[in-house]
Amino acid sequence: MHGERTTMAGADWRSEQAYPDAKTTEAVDLAWEWLRRNPEYQRDYRLLVRSGHSSAMADHFRRKWGLSFRR
């Protein structure tokens, strides 16, 4: 993830200043902003965290949401 995403995660989502200019934002950044607000994604993420990041749960999470994680 880009550095901006880490900063934006704690930002006030209602503030225009919390986001980069939409004309220069990359598609991956817009996709992340949509995904992290998705209630189903949030629920699945909480389940993943509660599972202790079991490999089976992590694999299911990655496949369902089309994500890949750096080691």
Question: 10-residue block means of pLDDT along the chain (71 residues)?
Answer: 45 69 80 89 93 88 84 64
CA distance 50 to 44: 10
One DSSP character per residue, 40-57 reads HHHHHHHHHHHTTS-HHH
Predicted TM-score (pTM) of the model is 0.62
Look at residue 65 in the predicted model and tell me its pLDDT: 93
Residues in the chain: 71
Give whole-number Cα distances, 70 to 10, 34, 36, 62, in Å. Answer: 22, 21, 18, 12
Q: 37-46 burial by CB neighbour count: b if 16+ within 10 A, else e? A: eeeebeebee
Look at residue 38 in the predicted model and tell me its pLDDT: 93
